[in-house]
Amino acid sequence: MEPRTIKIFDTTLRDGEQSPGASLTIPQKVEIAHQLEALGVDIIEAGFPVSSAGDFQAVKEIAAVVKKATVAGLARSLEKDVTAAGQAVADAAHPRIHVFCATSEIHLKYKLKRAHQEIIKLSVDAVRLAKSMVDDVEFSPEDASRTQPEFLREVVQAIIEAGATTVNIPDTVGYATPEHFYEIIADLVANVPNISQAVISVHCHNDLGLAVANSLAAVRAGAGQVECTINGLGERAGNCSLEELVMALKVRRDHYNVRTNIDTSQIYRTSRMVSSLTGMQVQRNKAVVGANAFAHEAGIHQHGVLAEASTYEIMRPEDVGVPKTALVLGKHSGRHAFQQRIAELGYTLSDEQLTSAVAALKALADKKKEIFREDIEAVVEDLLESVAVGWKLESLQISSGSKMIPTATICLRDPAGELFQDAGTGDGPIDAVYSTIARITAVTAKLAEYSIRAITGGKEAQGEVYIKLRYNDGSYRGRAFSTDIIEASALAYLQAINRIIAANGRETTAPPGV
Ligand code: KIV
Ligand code: ZN
């Protein structure tokens, strides 16, 4: 039997962006949307237009540039939401409005305070309104997995009659298990008389770590669309991870007999892009895209893989676009070699960015014998993320030891080019650096998160420092790489400070006396 095609609905820009700390600017969302299109997703949920002017604009701009994929905007079952979503996707080559309304007893009682028949009316009216604006309408009974089965069937039948062409079954709170979720979908397939007039979609959250397993079970039961996010981003514990779901369907086609339109060789690149733009790091042991996903540590495994890769590898790194060569360049490599590797990793840089990236890589090659893929990614992402205007680190000196008070002497250049120097102490060298930078820049923020990791192996490895600062009600991230972890810490801190200044329009000159 010919394999069925499962549509991949990507909600990285909507549900994914709801991950705490993962907010994106409009140009970043447009950049991701282009990459999602290159990846081959069928539908891009670009945002929730009524929720803010920024979201509306992002959906509108994405709708204007995306040509192949369908662009969806989310709406509650309210006239103003549906109208905003319809207006935001109006310019799309393939527009979709995604309407939702909660249907579980618990949501009806405590959130919506409505009776069953009122919910049906609200949903049907919203679908009809959406249908008057676009042909392609999706409806989601929110918290479907905790909805009474009879009521779920009734809602689904009614919204298909009203014109919905996709009916999405969300496991909103990640409560379902694979067998349970299979039964929910199978029940709708068997008992909703007009179900064949719509595509069944599923949208699973990962609170119990089962989002991918539940989505796979739903595919077996007849679902034709799966909603997912890159790197599994999303509310709380996240959504079904696109890369895991797609690779499971591909590797186990023998079992599912389905295919997708995803170009899996674009997976790694998309994952890196989303991680660097959202600042949400991918855990090292994350399936498919984590740094260790293809690293064989045990000698017996290494031996097997060298003899025949399929002994311990169910997919090849290149299947998901992980470049083959681990060791790439060194001190004596020329500009052309660096440029070529940057291009191979999928980055498109302006001439100016390319010149800066090559200069930074050559400087790194002077400090570090071997330049690995991760080093190139770190340098390029650092460059892409850096805040163009702001304070720059000129020099940094630390005195620290077991019997002395850690002291940092720091020299910064302000955005106007003037130099400022100060020295300060702290509980440790990084604390001394941070309090001195805070004094020079006159920005006092709370350090909410600090993490450090080596991005490659070996004693010369670059350290990646990731921080989050809280300032007023906002959270500002900074990420930097260096072979010197104190320098990486200072650079990450300055990046976050520059973001605070850019967002809050603060005075950027240092206080008198510094
Ligand atoms: O999790 C959920 O229920 C949602 C809906 C809006 C589809 O995100
Ligand atoms: Zn969701």
Ligand nearest to the CA of 48: 1
User: Hey, which of 10, 12, 15, 50 would you mutate to test ligand 1's pocket, going by the most ligand atoms within 8 Å of its Cβ?
Assistant: 15
Domain final residue, candidates 385, 402, 424: 385
* Whole-number pLDDT of residue 368: 78
For residue 25, how many other CB atoms are within 10 A of its CB? 11
Is the C-alpha dihedral spanning 202, 205, 210, 212 positive or negative? positive
DSSP assignment string, 123-185: HHHHHHHHHHH-SEEEEEEETGGGS-HHHHHHHHHHHHHTT-SEEEEEETTS---HHHHHHHH
CATH number at residue 79: 3.20.20.70
The number of the ligand 1 atom at minimal distance from the alpha carbon of 173 is 1
Structure token pair of residue 262 = 């995803």
Q: Judge if 379 and 460 occupy the same domain.
A: no
Distance between Cα 235 and ligand 2 center (Å): 7
Q: Judge if 55 and 173 occupy the same domain.
A: yes
CATH number at residue 476: 3.30.160.270
Q: Judge if 464 and 500 occupy the same domain.
A: yes
Distance between Cα 296 and ligand 2 center (Å): 35
Total domains in the fold of the chain: 3
Structure token pair of residue 15 = 């549900």
Helix residue ranges per DSSP H, 290-402: 299-307, 335-344, 351-367, 373-385
The domain of 377 spans 335-385
Q: Judge if 381 and 397 occupy the same domain.
A: no
- Residue 242 covered by a domain: yes
**Residue minimizing CA distance to atom 6 of ligand 1:** 100
Q: Judge if 409 and 378 occupy the same domain.
A: no
Around ligand 1, the residues with Cβ closer than 6 Å are: 15, 100, 140, 142, 168, 170, 172, 203, 205
Three-state SS at 307: helix
The number of the ligand 1 atom at minimal distance from the alpha carbon of 168 is 7
- Residue 24 covered by a domain: yes
The number of the ligand 1 atom at minimal distance from the alpha carbon of 205 is 1
**Residue minimizing CA distance to atom 1 of ligand 1:** 172
- Residue 96 covered by a domain: yes
- Residue 309 covered by a domain: no
Residues 6+ apart with CB under 8 A from 270: 32, 35, 36, 38, 39, 230
User: Hey, which of 12, 81, 205 would you mutate to test ligand 1's pocket, going by the most ligand atoms within 8 Å of its Cβ?
Assistant: 205
For residue 394, how many other CB atoms are within 10 A of its CB? 12
Consecutive sets of 10 residues in the chain, 514 residues long: mean pLDDT of each? 96 92 86 96 98 96 98 98 98 98 96 95 98 98 98 98 98 98 98 98 98 98 98 96 98 97 95 86 89 71 72 88 68 79 75 86 82 82 74 93 92 93 94 96 92 78 87 85 92 91 64 37
The number of the ligand 1 atom at minimal distance from the alpha carbon of 142 is 3
φ/ψ (deg, to 5) at 12: -55, -40
Q: Judge if 364 and 399 occupy the same domain.
A: no
Distance between Cα 430 and ligand 1 center (Å): 41
Q: Judge if 366 and 418 occupy the same domain.
A: no
- Residue 463 covered by a domain: yes
Contact criterion met (CB below 8 Å) for 479 and 492: yes
Measure Cα distances from 461 to 3, 326, 367, 368 in Å.
Answer: 46, 14, 10, 8
**Residue minimizing CA distance to atom 5 of ligand 1:** 142
Contact criterion met (CB below 8 Å) for 41 and 69: yes
User: Hey, which of 51, 55, 99, 140 would you mutate to test ligand 1's pocket, going by the most ligand atoms within 8 Å of its Cβ?
Assistant: 140
Please state, in angstroms and rounded to a whole number, the distance separating the CA atoms of residues 180 and 177. 5
Q: How far is CA 390 from the centre of its chain?
A: 26
The number of the ligand 1 atom at minimal distance from the alpha carbon of 11 is 8
Ligand nearest to the CA of 201: 1
- Residue 93 covered by a domain: yes
Please state, in angstroms and rounded to a whole number, the distance separating the CA atoms of residues 93 and 33. 14
Q: Judge if 245 and 187 occupy the same domain.
A: yes
Measure Cα distances from 503 to 389, 500, 507, 508 in Å.
Answer: 12, 5, 12, 12
Structure token pair of residue 5 = 């095609």
Question: For residue 113, what is the DSSP state?
Answer: -
The number of the ligand 1 atom at minimal distance from the alpha carbon of 170 is 3
* Whole-number pLDDT of residue 510: 42
- Residue 313 covered by a domain: no
Distance between Cα 227 and ligand 2 center (Å): 9
Domain final residue, candidates 255, 278, 301: 278
Please state, in angstroms and rounded to a whole number, the distance separating the CA atoms of residues 291 and 131. 45
Structure token pair of residue 155 = 């809602």
Q: Judge if 172 and 221 occupy the same domain.
A: yes
Distance between Cα 98 and ligand 2 center (Å): 12
Ligand nearest to the CA of 143: 1
Q: Judge if 356 and 266 occupy the same domain.
A: no
Residue whose C-alpha is closest to residue 12's, from 197, 212, 280 = 280
Distance between Cα 505 and ligand 2 center (Å): 34
The number of the ligand 1 atom at minimal distance from the alpha carbon of 14 is 8
Residue 4 pairs with which residues in a beta bridge? 258
Q: Judge if 370 and 429 occupy the same domain.
A: no
- Residue 132 covered by a domain: yes
Distance between Cα 376 and ligand 2 center (Å): 34
Q: Judge if 165 and 190 occupy the same domain.
A: yes
Please state, in angstroms and rounded to a whole number, the distance separating the CA atoms of residues 101 and 172. 12
